[in-house]
Amino acid sequence: MSNLKEYILKNFDIRSLKEIGFIPKEVRPNDYIQISNIICNFFGFKDIYEYTSEKLHLLHSSENRMILKTSDVVTSNGKLKSGVAIHLLVSPINDSFECPHCSKNQKCNDFKSYRLANDIFANIKCTGCKRKLTIFTNPFDGSITIHE
């Protein structure tokens, strides 16, 4: 168990994974078996230690975005299992936006949920009117759009 704990703490930011909803809030931060199961289910691993053995391949790269993919593997029963694609936003062309309700100017990178997002959508709260907003980052040109 201590090896599992050390491995998870070395390779994963548990607090950030909980904040973005990857690890459900009800999972205790010291329940390393449950955390391991969540990670394994997401990546399709048999055990957590496969995480560092996965190879990432660059599929696409631009000034603002990288798309990486884990290796395809053949399972023990001979079926091909496709790797997981990971989209990374390097930086948007313009990370400033104005809230559509209160007109307060804000920067995307001021929001932790935006900086940690592994998707083209990030949910935030306006710092002015406190309304829930969604930042959409166009994966092709890096432009951002704000939606309620």
| Closest C-alpha to 87, from 53, 117, 51 | 117
Q: Does pTM top 0.75 for this prediction?
A: no
134: left (phi over 0), alpha (psi -120 to 50) or beta: beta
> Residues 82-103: pLDDT tens digits?
766 665 555 555 678 888 889 9
Task: Report the distance separating Cα 63 and Cα 87, nearest Å.
Answer: 13
> Residues 59-77: pLDDT tens digits?
555 544 556 666 666 666 7
> Residues 16-43: pLDDT tens digits?
788 777 888 899 989 999 999 998 888 7
Task: Report the distance separating Cα 76 and Cα 44, nearest Å.
Answer: 13
Percent of the chain's residues with pLDDT above 90: 14
Domain ranges of the chain: 2-88, 91-147
Helices marked H in the chain? 2-11, 14-19, 32-43, 112-115
